[in-house]
Amino acid sequence: MKIKLNEKFSNIFVFFKIGGIFMRKILEGIKNYLSDWKNWLTHTIIGVFLLIIAFFAPVDIHVRISFLAGVVAFNTVRMKYFGS
């Protein structure tokens, strides 16, 4: 059974269209996340807090990454369920 050239290209275009829609949603979510002033404020406070702690007690990189992941998760849930 031969596949027509048009069918083959239409499958490729559908793949890229779906991928484009998915990527657009991701980029819009990142844009919304970065444009919210509450997220900037939270990240600034946590960053300053970690810098102050680093002067007195060195903090392991895993703890820093955990704080960052927690802040991102908290802000994402806040934006999704409580508005931005």
Per residue in 9-18, pLDDT (tens digit) is 556 556 666 6
Query: Does the pLDDT at position 5 exceed 60?
Result: no
- Containing 77, the helix (H) or strand (E) segment is helix 61-82
- Alpha-carbon gap, residue 54 to 49, rounded angstroms: 9
pLDDT digits (tens, 9 = 90+) for 21-77: 777 787 888 888 888 888 888 888 887 887 787 777 777 888 878 888 888 888 888
More confident: 5 or 12? 12
Cα atoms in the Cβ-side hemisphere of radius 13 Å centred on 15: 6
DSSP state of 36: -
Let me know how many helices (H) and strands (E) the chain has, helices first: 3, 0
**Is the pLDDT assigned to residue 84 strictly greater than 60?**
no
